[in-house]
Amino acid sequence: MGFLDFLTGTTNCPKCGTPGAKKEGNQVRCLNPTCEWFDQGLLQGMFGGPSPGATPPASGQNAGDFQSHNNVASAGNVAGSVTIRYRNFRGQDLTFVADPKSVVQKKNHVSVKALPTGQRVTLARARIQNLRELEAVVPQRVAPGQEWPTPRERQVLGYHMKYGTTSPLYEKIRAKYPNW
C-alpha cells in the first residue's frame, strides 16, 4: 500500500492480492476478472466502454461484496489482442491482455507487451493456463516440416534484421525463411 493510497481508496485485493482494488466502506471491488470480488464497473471507469462477452466468475460470489454490472471494459477490446490466463507462484489467477505481434519465446518463458500500457511481461510457459491458444495466435517462424536455419544462417538473419541492412546472402536466406 502506497503512502497516500488511503486518500484514493485503492489497495491490494484481500482475496487475490491484485493491486488497484477499491475499498469503499466495507466493500472491496477488485480489477481481476477471476477474483470473487471482481467489479466490472471498476474496469469500465479505467478503460472506457463496455466489452461484450466478458463476464465475472459465477462461482462463490457473495451478495453485497461487489456491485454487479452487465458489461466489462478491458484492453481486450483492441483488435488482434490475445488474453493470457496465468497462475503465479502464489497460486493467484491473473489475466493479461497482450499484443500477439510482441510475443517472444525464450526457452521456458514467454515475453509479451501487456496492453494498454505496453509494458513487457515475462511469463513462465508452465504457468500459462491457455498456452495452446497463445501458441495458435503466435506466427510460426518456420513452416511445418521445414528445417530450422543453421547457426550461420541465423547469424546473418539476426545481423541484417538488427541493423536494417541487406546483402545477397541475406536475401537468399530470407527467401528460404520468409517469416524469420
Q: pLDDT > 90: what percent of the chain?
A: 36
Say what the pLDDT of residue 104 is.
Answer: 86
Which residues lie below 8 Å from residue 65, measured CB to CB, with a gap of 6+?
27, 28, 36, 37
Q: CA 82 → CA 52, 88, 113, 141, distances in Å?
A: 15, 18, 11, 19
The DSSP bridge partners found for residue 96 are 84
Structural domains of the chain, with CATH: 1-73 (no CATH), 75-139 (2.30.30), 140-180 (no CATH)
Q: Which amino acid is at 77?
A: N
Q: How far apart are CA 134 and CA 100, in angstroms?
A: 8
Of residues 115 and 171, more confidently modeled: 171
How does pLDDT run across 23-52, given as a tens digit for each residue? 777 788 887 777 877 777 765 555 444 444
Answer yes or no: is pLDDT of 99 > 80. yes
67 pLDDT above the threshold of 50: no
In the structure, what pLDDT confidence band is assigned to residue 169 with cuts at 50, 70 and 90? very high
pLDDT given at position 2: 57
Q: Tell me what the mean pLDDT of segment 166-178 comes to.
A: 93
User: Whose grid coordinates read 465475472?
Assistant: 56
Across 9-13, 101-105, 156-160, which has the greatest mean pLDDT?
Answer: 156-160
